[in-house]
Amino acid sequence: MINAVRSLGRRGIETLWRGGVMARFFWLVITSSTMSFRRFSLTIREIYFAGVMSLVIIMVSGLFVGMVLGLQGFETLQKYGAEETMGVLVALSLVRELGPVVSALLFASRAGSAITAEIGLMKATEQLKAMDMMAIDPIARVVAPRFWAGVISMPLLAALFSAMGIFGGYVVGVALIDIDPGVFWSNMQAAVDFRYDVLNGFVKSIVFGIAISIIATFEGFDAEPTAEGVSRATTRTVVTSALTVLLLDLVLTAFMLRGVH
Amino acid sequence: MRTAYWFNATSLSHRSNTANHIFPLNQTNSTPLVEIDDVNFAYGKRPILKGISLKVQRGKVVAIMGGSGCGKTTLLRLIGGQLRASQGRIMVDGQDVGTLDADAMYAMRRKMGMLFQFGALFTDMTVFDNVAFQLREHTDLPEDMIRDLVLMKLDAVGLRGTAKFFPSELSGGMARRVALARAVALDPMLIMYDEPFAGLDPISLAVVGQTIRRLNDALGATSIVVTHDVVESMQIVDYLYFVSEGRIVGQGTPDEIRASTEPFIKQFVHAEADGPTPFHYPAKSYADDLGLTLPKGAA
């Protein structure tokens, strides 16, 4: 019993300590970001790897999620004779919640894990040490461009996810179920508010982008420099990012809804 | 903190044999480039270096030798400022490495080159880009000049023809030589080599060894080679230090080392399995470990 409490306490302290180290790392990344903007080509290169290379999975997933939403929504809405508001259901679900959250989860799995593995392997093969010995700060040269690439890519990917999802909903609603396209779009236009729906979704995706990018870069930088260490760090990135995104979504949604009512 | 420099004619007598290094006011080329004085270092509670003192004279190739885990690489990392000594002083080019702030440390590292044990080449860049990396980061040289400099460095290590290759396309020896070209890209005054001969075939080993000596003399640099390869290092270095259990246990020129009767040096140079460095790692008695009990009356 004593051992269990001791172990719990030790884990608690370790988690707290790790959180503190990550906060310091975050501050270091922010203060070392000048190069990422002065030499923007470094960040553009990382946007290509993190963002552009994630396009396929994000767009295809968005399309399918939108189509499924359309089918499920139609099934429920028709019971109340409100199937013409299917476009509203699809758009609000995607723009407010599913777009930012699902694209963040996909981004963490696709790009976050790749960032961790890349930085972790650079550490294991002493490339970061070599860079440091060359008087080049690895945080400024390697970490910061990847961090900002993630922050910039995430809202764009979330927007694309939502756009593809709405298109998926349109295909199901208009092409398969035969809802009038004018009704589909006009209901959506009337119900979706730019400030409370689109902008809030955008804010969420930026916050998720910051969280995933800092977790991914930190885990890579902090990885044990062995094959097993890098593998564990990659897993930690995906798990921690997913949990963080869901927790942040709850908190942000609570604040945003409070703003509406 | 900036150091005053002589810019008048008298400074010529205080220049090193490298034309491109101007030494601070308080220095002459007779002062050692690296001076380590009574340095202690521990990883946590495990002591690695215990009161190490050594000097590396300018223009020389000096080897630091010793068995695996004796603290050789730690010593290099202390000189490069990647670790801080818990006690003692490390002077490089007249500056105390332990007291430098981040900017001063980076300014000093620009005058250093380091070859890592497995090269540590950037795997997402070609050989050319690896060697050009520091030139692009630290200078504003035009790209055509960088190209000429990089090809010159690659030619010096015999690998100009691999400029377009990626590190994954190189053999271990070639990667080590490319890393060497990268380490000397900015014509450093101090080049540090961490196990440059590890895992190389005899031909690559000889090529890397000769390249280290040739580059040191051509650049007028000073080199510190951390290694446990006795045969190769004796052929290329001017002076050797032997480290065992965190202490300097012997030193001398290659000829003095060959003639040494010091037990550790003798064991190391002649590759004897047992001696001051025991074959067995300290442990409780073998019988105890196997759970054997001796018969009554047995000694």
Question: What number is the ipTM of this complex?
Answer: 0.79
Give residues with Cβ within 8 angstroms of A172, minimum separation 6.
Answer: A66, A67, A70, A71, A74
A59-63, A165-169, A170-174, A255-259: lowest mean pLDDT where? A255-259
Rounded CA gap, A149 and B267, in Å? Answer: 56
The torsion angles phi and psi of B62, rounded to 5 degrees, stand at -120, 135
- With vertex at residue B96, the alpha carbon angle to CA B93 and CA B99, rounded to the nearest 5 degrees, is 145
Nearest chain B residue to A141 by CA distance is B137
Give residue A228's identity as a one-letter amino acid code.
E
Contact B209, B200 (CB under 8 A): no
What count of CB pairs under 8 Å joins A to B? Answer: 40
d(CA B111, CA B94): 13
Would you write out chain B's pLDDT as a tens digit for each of its 299 residues?
A: 333 333 333 333 333 333 344 344 344 456 888 999 988 888 888 888 888 889 999 999 999 988 777 888 888 999 998 888 888 899 998 889 888 888 899 999 988 999 988 889 999 999 999 999 999 988 889 999 999 999 999 988 888 989 999 999 998 888 988 998 999 888 899 999 998 888 778 887 888 888 889 889 888 889 999 988 888 888 889 999 988 888 888 888 888 888 877 777 777 777 666 666 666 677 777 878 887 776 666 55
Are A135 and B120 an interchain contact pair (Cβ–Cβ within 8 Å)? no
Q: Taking CB atoms and an 8 Å cutoff, what residues of chain A touch B109? A: 132-135
CB B201 within 8 A of CB B173: yes
**Nearest-CA distance A137 → chain B (Å):** 9
Radius of gyration of chain B (CA): 22
**Geometric angle at alpha carbon A54, from A50 and A59, rounded to 5°:** 150
Give percent of chain A above pLDDT 70.
98
Q: What angle (nearest 5°) sits at the alpha carbon of residue B110, between those of residues B109 and B112?
A: 60
| Residue A4 contacts B where some CB pair is shorter than 8 Å | no
Interface of B with A in 65-104 (CB under 8 A): 80, 82
Q: For residue A223, what are the contacts with CB-CB under 8 A and spacing of at least 6? A: A116, A119, A120, A123, A124, A229, A230, A232, A233
| Contacts A141 to B, Cβ<8 Å | 137
Comparing CA positions, the residue from A223, A246, A245 lying closest to residue A236 is A223
- Report which secondary-structure segment, H or E, holds A82: none
A76, two tokens? 């429920």
Of residues A126 and B25, which shows the higher confidence score? A126
Can you give the C-alpha Rg of chain A in angstroms?
A: 21
Mutate to test the interface with B, among A35, A48, A115, A133 (most CBs of B within 10 A): A133
- CB-based contact (8 Å) between A141 and chain B? yes
A126 CB near a chain B CB, below 8 Å? yes
**Interchain contact, A129 vs B82, CB within 8 Å:** yes
Quick one: which H or E segment has residue A208?
helix A200-222
| Residues A177 and A90: beta-carbon distance below 8 Å | no
Average pLDDT along chain A: 92
Q: Give the residue from B124, B129, B170 with the most A CB atoms within 10 Å of its CB, the best one to mutate.
A: B124
Q: Within 10 Å of residue A111's Cβ, how many Cβ atoms?
A: 27
Q: Is the pTM of this model over 0.80?
A: yes
Q: Are B88 and B42 in contact (CB under 8 A)?
A: no
Q: Is B147 exposed, middle or buried (0-12, 13-18, 19+ CB in 10 A)?
A: middle
Q: Which two structure tokens, joined as six digits, stand for B214? A: 């040739």
Confidence bin at A146 (pLDDT 50/70/90): very high
| Chain B residues within 8 A of A132 when measuring between CB atoms | 82, 109
Phi-psi region of B294 (alpha: psi -120 to 50; beta: other; left: phi over 0): beta
Using the Cβ of B137 and the Cβ atoms of chain A, whether some distance falls under 8 Å is answered with: yes
Cβ-nearest to A125 among B82, B114, B120:
B120
Q: How far apart are CA A48 and CA A9, in angstroms?
A: 43
Which residue do the tokens 């470094």 mark?
Answer: A42
Chain A contact set for B123 (CB, 8 A): 121, 125, 127
Q: Is A254 on the interface with B (CB under 8 A)?
A: no
Residues ≥6 apart with Cβ < 8 Å to B161 = none
Res B18: pLDDT: 38
Residue among B138, B224, B167, B1 at smallest CA distance from A131: B138
Q: Please choose, from the candidates A134, A114, A201, A122, the residue with its C-alpha nearest in 3D space to the C-alpha of residue A165.
A: A201
Examine the pLDDT at A179 and tell me if it is beyond 80: yes
Verify whether the Cβ–Cβ distance B110 to A132 is below 8 Å.
no
pLDDT per position as a tens digit, A216-253: 999 999 999 999 999 999 999 999 999 999 999 999 99
Rounded-to-integer distance, Cα A78 and Cα A83, Å:
5
- Flag if B118 and A126 touch (Cβ within 8 Å): yes
Residue A145 distance to chain B (closest CA, Å) = 15
pLDDT value, residue B3: 35
Q: Which helix (H) or strand (E) holds B224?
A: strand B222-227
**Beta strand B34-43 pairing with B46-56:** antiparallel
Residues of chain B contacting A134 with CB distance shorter than 8 Å: 109, 133-134, 137
